[in-house]
Amino acid sequence: MTHHVLIVEDESDLVDIIEAELELDFPSIKLTTAATVDDLQSVLERKSFQLIIADLTVPGSQITPVLDLIREVSSETPIMVFSGKVEEMADLDHPQVIDFIPKPFQPEKLLGSLKKFFDSDQLKLA
């Protein structure tokens, strides 16, 4: 079974690292990326995802508007948030956010969070 995951991140080097790690450890994941709020809105209107991994400070955004946009278009999709603004994330209370990964992050932390998510959601990884 293919699992569709959206990565919202404007740093292309970081996206490349995430993609490489996920392709090795989670071959059943099909990734889609969005680098701006406009990209995010366009992608969410066309596709559905089992999980969204989002940096909430992509160009054209503020933290709450990104989450509000995701909630409007994809209200049931869980979100893993990563950000360098740890102090702002401490007060983040959003029903779709299932994990917070501070930047800079270790790939092992993201991989561990993904494994935990897919295991708890009873999705099988190929």
The full DSSP string for 73-89 is H-TT--EEEEES-HHHH
What pLDDT does 90 receive?
62
Superfamily grouping for domain 3-120: Response regulator (3.40.50.2300)
What pLDDT does 78 receive?
93
Global pTM reads: 0.84
What pLDDT does 7 receive?
94
What pLDDT does 91 receive?
62
What pLDDT does 50 receive?
92
What pLDDT does 89 receive?
65
Within the chain, where are the H helices? 12-25, 37-46, 63-73, 86-90, 107-120
Is residue 98 within 8 A of residue 78, CB to CB? The reply is yes
Q: What angle do CA 5, 40, 125 make, to 5 degrees?
A: 0
- Successive 10-residue mean pLDDT values, the chain, 126 residues: 89 89 87 91 93 82 72 88 72 79 82 84 46
What pLDDT does 122 receive?
43
What pLDDT does 45 receive?
92
- Beta-carbon contacts of residue 51 (< 8 Å; ≥ 6 apart): 3, 5, 6, 77, 78, 79, 80, 114, 117
